[in-house]
């Protein structure tokens, strides 16, 4: 087997070329959605996302409008938070928050005997009720379940929910709840997902507004 001699700076470009060649002119995605799909595949090397990644109508447009207006991105893990492009976020005047490690979140979750992810969504709703918020959930289905309750009770109206928790318990059901609602979503249907996927989707959105080479906005 021949090993390709590729400069570090060209590895991502070559990876995207391979992904494009294997997608074989896939149908059913808009160009902005296709860029998100490619980055998720680049992150996971998993072409099942061609079937699993679902977009609500105008989800990408809603995300672009929010990000261009200085949105808050709320994640359910520090891992997802750390994987999102800080230069892009800063250039757009956005911010990223994760409340999972906050002492008040941990204490309330312990008192109520529910997950910190659920409480962290409640905290975000209290802080950002009147702001453009994008929720990027890559780990905890309870975060999606909590978000659905907050939305139906009128406590928050997110610009976008990225619903890609991974696992087995309530994962599929929590995603179906989000897809059945009226909030714009990007969801990885089924069991697959992860914090890396949540970050990849955020970056794929950001990179359509922010030029990584020049550091300028498109």
In this predicted structure, the answer to whether residue 211 has a pLDDT above a threshold of 80 is yes
Is 42 labeled as catalytic in the residue annotation?
Answer: yes
For residue 1, what pLDDT is reported?
Answer: 72
In this predicted structure, the answer to whether residue 205 has a pLDDT above a threshold of 90 is yes
Lowest-confidence range among 10-14, 28-32, 195-199?
10-14
How far is residue 61 from each of residues 41, 97, 108, measured CA to CA in Å?
A: 21, 22, 36
Q: Which of 35, 42, 91, 108 is catalytic?
A: 42
**pLDDT tens column, 119-149:** 999 999 999 999 999 999 999 999 999 999 9
CATH T-level topology, domain 9-206:
Rossmann fold (3.40.50)
Please report, in angstroms and rounded to a whole number, the separation of the first and last CA atoms in the chain: 41
pTM value?
Answer: 0.96
**Ordered DSSP codes for 140-180:** -HHHHHHHHHHHHTTS---SEEEE---SSSSHHHHHHHHHT
**pLDDT tens column, 148-202:** 999 999 999 999 999 999 999 999 999 999 999 999 999 999 999 999 999 999 9
Q: How far apart are CA 4 and CA 21, in angstroms?
A: 17
pLDDT confidence tier of residue 25, bands split at 50, 70 and 90:
confident
Give the CA-trace dihedral at 217, 30, 52, 145, to 10 degrees: 60
Pull the structure tokens for residue 7: 């400069």
**pLDDT tens column, 85-124:** 999 999 999 999 999 999 999 999 999 999 999 999 999 9
Pull the structure tokens for residue 156: 């928050």
């Amino acid at each position: 087997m021949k090993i390709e001699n590729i400069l570090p700076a060209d590895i991502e470009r070559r990876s995207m070329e391979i992904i494009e060649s294997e997608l074989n002119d896939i149908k059913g995605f808009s160009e902005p959605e296709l860029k998100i799909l490619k980055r998720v595949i680049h992150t996971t090397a998993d072409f099942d996302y061609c079937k699993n990644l679902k977009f609500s109508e105008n989800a990408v447009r809603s995300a672009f409008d929010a990000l261009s207006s200085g949105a808050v991105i709320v994640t359910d893990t520090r891992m997802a938070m750390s994987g999102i492009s800080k230069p892009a976020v800063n250039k757009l005047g956005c911010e990223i928050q994760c409340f999972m490690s906050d002492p008040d979140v941990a204490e309330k979750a312990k008192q109520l005997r529910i997950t910190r992810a659920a409480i962290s969504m409640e905290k975000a709703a209290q802080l950002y009720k009147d702001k453009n918020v994008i929720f990027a959930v890559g780990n905890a289905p309870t975060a999606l379940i909590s978000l659905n309750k907050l939305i139906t009770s009128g406590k928050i109206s997110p610009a976008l929910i990225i619903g890609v928790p991974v696992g087995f318990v309530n994962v599929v059901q929590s995603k179906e709840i989000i897809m059945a609602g009226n909030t714009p979503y990007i969801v990885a249907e089924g069991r697959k997902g992860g914090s890396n996927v949540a970050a990849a989707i955020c970056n794929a959105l950001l990179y359509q507004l922010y030029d990584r080479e020049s550091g300028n906005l498109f």
